[in-house]
Amino acid sequence: MKFNIKRILILFILLFVIGSVAIETSVQTVSGDSLHLKDYTNEIQNLNEPYKFIKTDYFKPITHLSFTNKPVTRYYQLTLKKVKMSPDGFERPVWSVNGQHPGPLIQANKGDRLVLNVTNNFDDPATIHWHGMFQHGTNWYDGVPGQTQCPIPNDVSLVYNFSTTDQHGTYWYHSHFFAQYVDGLRGSLVVHDPDDPYLNQYDFEYLVVLSDWHHNTTGVLLPLQDAPGYSGLRPIPDSPLISGLGRYNCTAAPPGSKCKSNQPLAVYNVKKNKKYRFRIINSSADGVFVFSIDQHKLKVIEADGIYLKPTIIKKLPVAVGQRYSVIVDANQPVGNYFIRGTLDKRCTPINNATINFNSAIDWNGLGILHYEGAINKPNSKEFDDDFTPCRDLDKKHLNPIKPITKYDGHVTDFVNITITFGRDKNQRLKALINNSSFVPQMNDPTVNKITRDIDAKDLPKEQNSVIFNHNGGIAEIYVKNNNGADHPFHMHGHVFAIMYVGEKGEVHDKSKYNKRNPVVRDTLTIPGNGFVVIRFITDNPGVWAFHCHIEWHVELGMVLGIIELQDTLKKETIPEDVVALCLEHDLQKRTTRKMLNSIVINEIRSYD
């Protein structure tokens, strides 16, 4: 038998891939007979309506939808495909939507129904979560594998079909399959409101999607973080991006890589004395962004879909998953002014064991606010900080435009959780909620179990489930952060009222709760070694994730599963095509495993 080093290496890689395909942690395989399929009750309104393939130029003002007398159904096509792109000058594969990154803008008006045909051509499974959308009555379209659906296999399409109900504001969409959105599957979603109190206070509207960017794919980064004994912190990015554009010092690029320096900056064009609404989204894996425009103050009018009493600020801190709208008055002398999308280095811990700790990143992401007729290069000066670093925008800027009092009442359910980190028996780092690390069951999601009449109290421990079963009740969650990291926590299916945010060393004092007019949103920062108390109304049957939106922490298991109104949920009908994903996903895994086994056997035989 002759051995060739190259072929041995190929054989080793194949064996590793087979092992990876074969391992599905804590997954219970289900057969078709046990699914109890019901009639499809969420029919698409017009099967003959063509899906609209959309593209978005993020540096042109949004073209508004026309308002209609009654809600309409809007059909969109989203095709997922890997393409080579160079967002900051460094070329790498990008998990794109309709061939672009960020993905195209999805628009609707308040009350409209969205029907989105998602075709997965990634060669990887995928899902899409519609971040901030409540999914009333359509929990299975929330897009969380292991909780609300099985992943969409390669070369398979799934139609997401849900109503915007009475929601309005700035949202986004992203993959929830492992850390896939960090590789590019993310885009913007705006629900316009004919009753928007600020509609007549601006002339044009722009989107700004902020993100941190890595040159290595998450297929490289996640195994490094998951290695036994890893003692570093979250992976350090290579660039900040403003709506998909950034700059990287290509002299630091590895030999053999394709990299072009002096990439164009993000440019937003304005006209003198016009007013502009900027919708700002932090779609990062990790970083806190600080957004500002030199010599132009920001009037804050919306946070996470909630209209706010207008206030004026100079700089806007935006945690991962948060969204804001600000109005900018182009009232300065005609010229070019820096737009700053700065990754706040103060909020990114690092040590010499951290993945990419020696990154050549320039933390100062730059764009340009270009006045029509301006010819000078920007030389504007940055505002001084007017905020507390690594904290959400001060609550004095987050007062709802109308007082929200429904959270001031009898608390029907109370949950006390503690978040921290630990290590498993193999010394792999894990994130823990009440000493349990979340593990998704990819081919038997929680919502499938509930609709098969499995009681939530009998769910596996690693589902990190909490149960709320008072219809219309007030649930209160106290979150104690037992580690020094700040955590931007996001809740699916709801907004919540912030009763209190406690810093390190503060004592929990119920008399300080803000019950009469609390800040209301769906994502907030939990201070390191601090705590928060939130309340929400239990009126949306479903399985809802409540998790840290630092994606590296999600992959370590910092996820809670809220089981809400299971007595109602178990009577719901999951569409057949959603349930069928589980069988298709399992079939593709089995086929892949069989194919790889065959390749290895042929390789071994060829040595003889």
Are residues 210 and 253 both part of a single domain?
yes
Whether the CA torsion 566, 571, 572, 574 is positive or negative: it is: positive
Q: For residue 425, what pLDDT band results from cuts at 50, 70 and 90?
A: very high
Tokens standing for residue 574: 């999951």
pLDDT reading at 15 higher than 80: no
Instruction: Tell me, rounded to whole angstroms, the distance of Cα 171 from its chain centroid.
Output: 10
pLDDT of residue 604: 45
How far is CA 205 from each of CA 27, 95, 201, 291, 319, rounded to the nearest angstrom? 46, 27, 11, 16, 22
Are residues 445 and 582 both part of a single domain?
no
Closest CA to 408 of 494, 501, 510: 510
State the pairing for strand pair 289-293/52-53: unpaired
Q: Is 446 helix (H, G, I), strand (E, B) or coil?
A: helix
Least confident residue range of 33-47, 70-84, 270-284: 33-47
**408 within domain boundaries:** no
**568 within domain boundaries:** yes
Q: What is the 3-state secondary structure (H, E, C) of 379-404?
A: CCCCCCCCCCCCCCCCHHHCCECCCC
Least confident residue range of 22-36, 252-266, 297-311, 529-543: 22-36
Are residues 566 and 587 both part of a single domain?
no
**98 within domain boundaries:** yes
* Section 187-215 average pLDDT: 98
pLDDT reading at 550 higher than 80: yes
Instruction: Tell me, rounded to whole angstroms, the distance of Cα 7 from its chain centroid.
Output: 40
Are residues 461 and 536 both part of a single domain?
yes
Q: For residue 73, what pLDDT band results from cuts at 50, 70 and 90?
A: very high
pLDDT of residue 297: 98
**12 within domain boundaries:** no
Q: How many helical (H) and strand (E) elements, i.e. helices and strands, does the chain have?
A: 6, 31
Could you tell me the residue range of the domain that residue 189 belongs to?
Answer: 37-193+575-607
Are residues 242 and 99 both part of a single domain?
no
Least confident residue range of 234-238, 354-358, 435-439, 507-511: 507-511
SS3 content of the chain, % helix, strand, coil (to 5): 15, 35, 50
* Residue 250: Cβ within 10 Å count: 17
pLDDT reading at 520 higher than 60: yes
Which residue type is seen at 460?
A: P
Closest CA to 349 of 433, 417, 281, 421: 421
Domain total of the chain: 3
Are residues 83 and 215 both part of a single domain?
no
The answer to whether residues 559 and 545 touch, using CB atoms and an 8 Å cutoff, is yes
One DSSP character per residue, 16-81 reads HHHHHHH--TT-----GGGS------S--S-TTSPPEE----TTS---PPPP-SS--EEEEEEEEE
**Which of 402, 431, 448 is the endpoint of a domain?**
402
* Residue 76: Cβ within 10 Å count: 19
- Cα separation, 582 vs 605, whole angstroms: 35
For 229-288, list the strands marked E by DSSP.
Answer: 239-242, 266-270, 275-282
Higher pLDDT, 10 or 148: 148
Are residues 95 and 124 both part of a single domain?
yes
**396 within domain boundaries:** yes
pLDDT of residue 602: 52
pLDDT of residue 428: 97
* pLDDT above 90: percentage of residues in the chain: 86
Are residues 295 and 212 both part of a single domain?
yes
Are residues 433 and 499 both part of a single domain?
yes
The domain that contains 362 carries what CATH number?
Answer: 2.60.40.420
**511 within domain boundaries:** yes
Q: For residue 464, what pLDDT band results from cuts at 50, 70 and 90?
A: very high
* Residue 607: Cβ within 10 Å count: 12
Higher pLDDT, 6 or 470: 470
- Residue positions counted in the chain: 608
pLDDT reading at 262 higher than 80: yes
Are residues 389 and 532 both part of a single domain?
no
**134 within domain boundaries:** yes
* Residue 137: Cβ within 10 Å count: 16
* Section 197-205 average pLDDT: 98
pLDDT reading at 599 higher than 50: no
Are residues 432 and 564 both part of a single domain?
yes
**50 within domain boundaries:** yes
Q: Is 458 helix (H, G, I), strand (E, B) or coil?
A: helix
Higher pLDDT, 403 or 271: 271
pLDDT of residue 583: 86
The rounded mean pLDDT for the chain is 90
* Section 202-208 average pLDDT: 98
One DSSP character per residue, 508-526 reads P-GGG---SS-EEESEEEE
**Which of 402, 428, 443 is the endpoint of a domain?**
402
pLDDT reading at 470 higher than 60: yes
* Section 90-102 average pLDDT: 98
Q: For residue 21, what pLDDT band results from cuts at 50, 70 and 90?
A: very low
Are residues 184 and 297 both part of a single domain?
no
pLDDT of residue 103: 98
* Section 361-371 average pLDDT: 97
- Cα separation, 168 vs 164, whole angstroms: 8
Higher pLDDT, 225 or 598: 225
